[in-house]
Amino acid sequence: MKDRTCSGLFISYDRPTQMLVVLERKTSEHGTISDQERLRFCFADYDNLDSQVIEQTLGQLVLYSLEKLTPDGLGFGDYSDLLDRISEENIAVFSQGLDMSNPDDQYSLATLMFSRGGRMKSWGMVERAIGLFEQAAVAGHHEAKRFLDEDLPVVRPRMEEKLNKRNLG
């Protein structure tokens, strides 16, 4: 029997907070809906950046998210190097607008750092990301807890194999 799960992106914008949130929404054949946050972007934190840079980056991130909905991609383009182009400097700029005592901000930065650390083979960054996921989960962040309980046990062995490392901390 074929898997009849549908996936899509749900994008919302909260005008008072100037917050854009992108969720991956999966609907099972039984109608069960599950959402996973893929991107959270507060425009107010980046009002000093050129609007064209913001538009291009957000557009690429949305297209990258769409490409990841299916194993073979959707044919929009090759965005595989998108996260590779995010530098340590960009992470620093991104984290400037974050409140690291806020579990949502901890989760957002952890997600970015975990992806970047894996791509750049930076164990320090991966370990810091896992630490942020743990902090957010302890503070009650459901997505961080789900990542630690469900995703990390699956991803960790694959990442260890990819990066040829057996101790992620």
Whole-angstrom Cα distance, residue 153 to residue 130?
12
Residue 69 covered by a domain: no
Q: How many domains, in total, are found in the chain? A: 1
Residue 150 covered by a domain: yes
Residue 165 covered by a domain: yes
User: pLDDT (tens digit, 9 = 90+) per residue, 88-122?
Assistant: 556 666 666 678 888 988 898 888 888 777 777 77
User: pLDDT (tens digit, 9 = 90+) per residue, 21-31?
Assistant: 888 888 888 88
Whole-angstrom Cα distance, residue 30 to residue 116?
35
Residue 97 covered by a domain: yes
- Between the alpha carbon of residue 83 and those of residues 44, 57, 87, 97, 163, the distances in Å are 22, 11, 9, 19, 17
How confident is residue 167, by pLDDT bands cut at 50, 70 and 90? very low
Residue 161 has pLDDT above 80, yes or no: no
How high is the pLDDT of residue 88? 57
How high is the pLDDT of residue 130? 92
